[in-house]
Structure 1
Amino acid sequence: MLLSLRTAVLIASLQVLCTSLPAQAELTGERQIYLLDGQGVEQAIGSLTIAADGDRYGYSIDLDLSQFHDHFLSMKEMKCLQGPELWCYVPYPYANPRSFTTEDLRWLEHDLLFLFKESDTFGARLWNGIYYPLHLDEDGVIRGEARALDLNLLASPPDDPSTPPVGKFDIGDFKLESRWLPDIEIR
């Protein structure tokens, strides 16, 4: 009787664990990337295609460039969303394995870097970087809330190219209510 009780507890525990984690099939496929303003108004900026790769997920991002406008800022052409401020996409400049796990989405975060530019400023200021720390919800949606990042951190290649260079101590808080697109959702 004791053995069957242990077996039943083990089976019940496994069932709870399996239902609380998103299934691999739910993560794979194409998803849309949305930036949201403070009122929840969405701006679709492209798609994310996810494929299972062992215990990791490989991905590719396809930005919808029709949503972006060309701006020549600080001697560089940038793709920017126009609104109350410019929200410019900053491609990660170094090698990236383009993969993640359900617990570690840092490489994907590095591929979704932006900077903001207020309308009354001249040029791009790399210390106005935007970094979205991402997490995977129980419903399979990838979400993030904007944080401040000095993009000058990426001026030279990382010492270890197998590890994402931006860490939790590199990102800071700022007044989200004063930023145009404080949230990201990938669904």
Structure 2
Amino acid sequence: MIQNLRPLASLFCGLVAIALATPATAWELSGSKLVKLHTRDGQSIAIGHVDFTPKGEQSSFKLHLDHAKLKDFFLSMKEFKCLEGEEIHCHVPYPYANPGTVSQKDLRWLEHSLLFLYKQPKDFGARLWNGLYYEMVLTEKGIVGTPQAVDLVQIGAPPADTSIPPYGPGDRSEIPPDSRWIRSLSIE
């Protein structure tokens, strides 16, 4: 009887060893994920969700902002959905058709779908040169976006090639950590 159990015990030990040696799987670009903004005072504010649908190596995505969490602001003859706090943080929808796809290595179209501008509560109108682009990184727990400065005037006219996201690394600049009310963005 014991001789019959030895092969099973060996098989079991081998399977356990394989399971322990297998690294944790990467966070999947699949399903509905919560979009949160994180303030420099430690608050997390859920502003909507992104629905990811896998298609081979890529996933298509659709952004859904929770308009109940955002306030309407009429700035410079245009309506914006904004979060009000130390600063006014307004979503700026990317205005041109795009593939709406991402991959584990390329999150640029999602970054372009989550453009924002900021303004001080006392300021009048939208200042498009105060744009924020969240450079995103895929982690084991989700996506983390760090704000960079960008001039949103650049998307006032369509790019020459609409299949390429217009804001490349040379169009963005680093900003000091915690210099903005919203210090980061996450998708979990």
Give me the whole-angstrom Cα distance separating, in 2, the residues matched to 1:31 and 1:74.
32
1:119 shift after superposition: 1.6
The code of the aligned residue for 1:134 comes to M
Question: What's 1:149 paired with?
Answer: 150
Query: Please, which of 127, 130, 133 is the counterpart of residue 131 of structure 1?
Result: 133
The answer (yes or no) to whether the contact 1:27–1:140 under 8 Å persists in 2 is: no
Answer yes or no: is 1:64 the counterpart of 2:66.
yes
Moved more, 50-59 or 168-177: 168-177
Q: Work out whether residues 29 and 104 of structure 2, in 8 Å CA contact, stay in contact via their aligned partners in 1.
A: no
Q: Does the aligned pair in 2 maintain the 1:95–1:161 contact within 8 Å?
A: yes
So what's the TM-score if we normalise by structure 2?
A: 0.85
CA deviation map 1:112-155 (0-9, x unaligned)? 00000112211110000010010101x14100111100001111
Choose which of 53, 56, 60 in structure 2 pairs with 1:51: 53
- Partners of 1:120 and 1:62 lie apart in 2 by 29
Superposed, which structure 2 residues align to 1:27-106 within 5 Å?
A: 27-106=29-108
Deviation string 1:85-130 (CA, Å, 9 cap, x unpaired) is 1000100000111101111100000000000011221111000001
Unaligned 5+ segments in structure 2 are 1-19
- Percent identity, please: 43
Question: Aligned to 2:110, what secondary structure does the other structure show?
Answer: helix
Is 2:26 the partner of 1:22? Answer: yes
Please report the RMSD computed on the Cα atoms of aligned residues, expressed in angstroms: 1.6
Task: Specify the SS of the correspondent of 1:154.
Answer: helix
Partner of 1:173: 174
1:26-61 superposed Cα distances (whole Å, 9 cap, x missing partner): 331111000001133100000011111111011111
Structure showing greater Rg: 2
3-state SS in 2 of match to 1:127? coil
Q: Is the 8 A contact 1:48 1:59 kept in 2?
A: yes
Does the aligned pair in 1 maintain the 2:29–2:103 contact within 8 Å?
A: no
Which 5+ residue runs of structure 1 have no aligned equivalent?
A: 1-14
Amino acid at match of 1:97: P
The match for 1:183 is: 184
Give the 3-state SS of the residue equivalent to 2:111 in structure 1: helix
Partner of 1:113: 115
Q: CA deviation at 1:19?
A: 3.0
Do the aligned partners of residues 20 and 103 (structure 1) sit closer, same or farther apart at CA in structure 2, a change above 3 Å counting? farther
> Do the aligned partners of residues 161 and 21 (structure 1) sit closer, same or farther apart at CA in structure 2, a change above 3 Å counting?
farther
- TM-score, with length taken from structure 1: 0.85
**Aligned residues between the structures:** 169
